[in-house]
Amino acid sequence: MSARSRIIGPYDEQRHALIAHLRSRGITDPDVLQAMDLVPRERFVQDFMRNRAYEDTALPIDDRQTISQPYTVALMTQALGVHDGMKILEIGTGSGYQAAILAAMGAKVITIERHPKLSAQARERLAALGLSAECRVGDGTIGYTGKAPYDGIIVTAGAPDVPEPLARQLSIGGRLIVPVGDLEQQTLYRVTRTADEAWNVEDLGPVKFVPLIGVEGWQADG
């Protein structure tokens, strides 16, 4: 599909109901709502869970990971301030759904996943929908300097602290959206780079994610 085309399918009614629910919870960015109305979330969950694709809840995927709650995806995307042509680094590809939302909004997406199987699945799903994203396998906690600096970085797993390499790969004015806390609960932060050695940090509220594993995150057995 093209970035702005509409998918017609059996889940349209549920998807539209989810959009109305997101509006009621304070998601106001029309581009975020449009992208989430266009991208078929049922294509990013396991087949036997497709009837639950538009519940506002996280769902399990392969490799003991999850596809994030739709409200959390919408909140993080809205906080990032996505616009057409932005270069965005995503840490934690997972199912590929967050990358699909960003790509549908016209962003240039580079997404990193530590599980090769998930990265390959996401690449196939995105390609099948005609959405463009560069899917890479590696340690997302150290970012990817090959395409830095980024207008935005979005982290879809909980970190023990803001990963310094990611903050330093932001352009001036760029934003990093990252959950920070312990293994049970995190706080979502928006970190904006205001100068070469200056960042502004905003608290966006409590969230819960799977742990961010890597050099600048938790240990694999943590």
| Rounded Cα gap, residues 88 and 122, in angstroms | 17
What is the number of residues in the chain? 222
Q: Which residues, other chains included, contact 42 with Cβ-Cβ below 8 Å and sequence gap of 6+? A: 9, 11, 50, 53, 54
Tell me whether residue 171 is one of the annotated catalytic residues.
Answer: no
**Tokens 């709502």 sit on residue:** 33
The answer to whether the beta carbons of residues 193 and 174 sit under 8 Å apart is: yes
Structure tokens, 193: 């780079």
| Rounded Cα gap, residues 137 and 160, in angstroms | 21
| Rounded Cα gap, residues 107 and 87, in angstroms | 6
Q: Please count the other Cβ atoms lying within 10 Å of the Cβ belonging to residue 13.
A: 9
Pairing mode, strands 186-195 and 198-207? antiparallel
Q: Tell me which H or E stretch contains 178.
A: strand 170-181
Active-site position among 2, 68, 119, 132: 68
State the catalytic residues: 68
